[in-house]
Amino acid sequence: MEKYTRWSKGVEILYLSHRPGSKAAQEAENKVASLAESMGIEVVRLSEIEKLEASRKPSIIISLGGDGTLLRARAKVGNASVPFLSVNYGGLGALSELEPEELDGWLPKVLKGDFMVEERALLESENRTALNEVLVKSSEIGKSALITLRVGGHYLFKARGDGIIVATPTGSSAYAFSAGGPLVDPSLVAMVVVPVAPFFWGIRPFVIGDSEVSIIAHENIALVIDGERIACGAREVSVRLSRERAKFIRVKPFSFSGLYRKLESRLV
C-alpha cells in the first residue's frame, strides 16, 4: 500500500468531536470551530446531532479526545473515506497524530487542506467497517462462548473461551494487544486473529492476509465493532478486509518505531 498521498480537494465541511467531560477538549473544539468558520468552512459538531445527512463535499474529521472519541466520530459520520485527525486529549492516544500543545501550530494548514493522507486497512462485518477490531463474545456477562473458527472456508478450531477478536494492524495496538496479540505494523494489509482467554492452551493468536474469517457460535453472541455493540441475531459472523481504506491525516512522518515507543512509555 502506498505510504502517503497529498490531499488535493480542500476542506468544505469539518466534523468536530470532543471527549465528553473534558473541559480542555471542549475549549479546543470551540477554538477549532471558530477558526474554521472564519475560513468559510461549514462546521458540524457531532455532539449536537443525532443523524447526519450524506454529503459529497470535501470533508474531514477532527477528533479531540482519546481513541474511543475518534472511533465514535467515525461511526457517526458513517463514511470511511473521510480523512481524520486525532488530537490526544485522552490517555494512550495510539491513533493520535498530535498532542494538544501541537494543535495551534498545525491547525491552519489542516483546515486549508495542506496535509498528507495515509491509507490503512479496514475490516468489514455486518455492513459496517472497523478501524480497530471486531469482537464476538457471549451475549451473557461473565459467561464463556463455544466458538468454531473457519478461515477461507477451512475449519481451524472449535473451542470455548471469552471470545474472538479480529483486528486490523492499526487495531493490533488496542484490545487485541491487551489480549495477548502481536503488535503489527499498521501499514500492512492483514488481519490479526486473537482468541480471548481460550480454555485450550494450544490456541494462539495469528496473522492472516486477505481471507474471510467465519466465527460460528454455538450459543447467543454479542457483536462489538470498534467498541460499539451491534444488534446481531445470527450465530455466524463473517469478517473480511474491506475494499475501503481509512484515511489518517498526516502532518508529520509516522513510524512503527514511534508507535512502539509511545506504547512503551504509556503502558509501562
More confident site: 126 or 190: 190
Residue 237 has pLDDT above 90, yes or no: yes
Model confidence at 53, pLDDT cuts 50, 70, 90, reads confident
User: Angle formed by the axes of helices 103-111 and 23-38, to 10°?
Assistant: 40
pLDDT digits (tens, 9 = 90+) for 15-31: 999 999 999 999 999 99
pLDDT of residue 32: 99
Model confidence at 268, pLDDT cuts 50, 70, 90, reads low
Model confidence at 256, pLDDT cuts 50, 70, 90, reads confident
pLDDT of residue 172: 97
pLDDT of residue 56: 83
Fold: same for 5-115+251-267 and 124-243: no
* pLDDT (mean) for 221-241: 90
The active-site residue, picked from 67, 104, 162, 210, is 67
Q: What CA–CA distance (Å, rounded) separates 173 from 33? A: 31
Model confidence at 3, pLDDT cuts 50, 70, 90, reads confident
Lowest-pLDDT range of 151-155, 182-186, 190-194, 257-261: 257-261
Smallest Cα–Cα separation from 8: which of 115, 83, 118, 85? 115
Return the exposure string of 231-243: e unless at least 16 CB atoms fall within 10 Å of the residue's CB, then b. Answer: ebeeeebbbebbe
* Pairing status of strand 154-161 against strand 163-167: unpaired
Residue 111 has pLDDT above 90, yes or no: yes
Which position has the grid cell 502532518? 251
Q: What CA–CA distance (Å, rounded) separates 226 from 176? A: 12
Residue 1 has pLDDT above 60, yes or no: no
pTM over the 0.85 mark: yes
- ∠54-57-62 over CA atoms, to 5°? 85
Smallest Cα–Cα separation from 14: which of 113, 102, 97, 104? 113
Q: How many CB atoms lie within 10 A of CB 150?
A: 18
Q: Which 8-state DSSP code applies to residue 170? A: G
> 124-243 — its CATH code?
2.60.200.30
CATH for the 5-115+251-267 domain, from 3.40.50.10330, 3.90.550.10, 3.20.20.100, 3.40.920.10: 3.40.50.10330
Q: Are 199 and 183 in contact (CB under 8 A)?
A: no
pLDDT of residue 19: 97
Percent of the chain residues topping a pLDDT of 90? 79
User: What is the Cα gyration radius of the chain?
Assistant: 19
- Give catalytic status of residue 226 as yes or no: no
Lowest-pLDDT range of 166-180, 231-245, 254-268: 254-268
The alpha-helical segments, DSSP class H, found in 39-102 are 67-77
pLDDT digits (tens, 9 = 90+) for 78-94: 998 899 999 999 888 89
Annotated domain spans of the chain: 5-115+251-267, 124-243
Q: What CA–CA distance (Å, rounded) separates 261 from 268? A: 11
The helix (run of H) or strand (run of E) holding residue 249 is strand 236-250
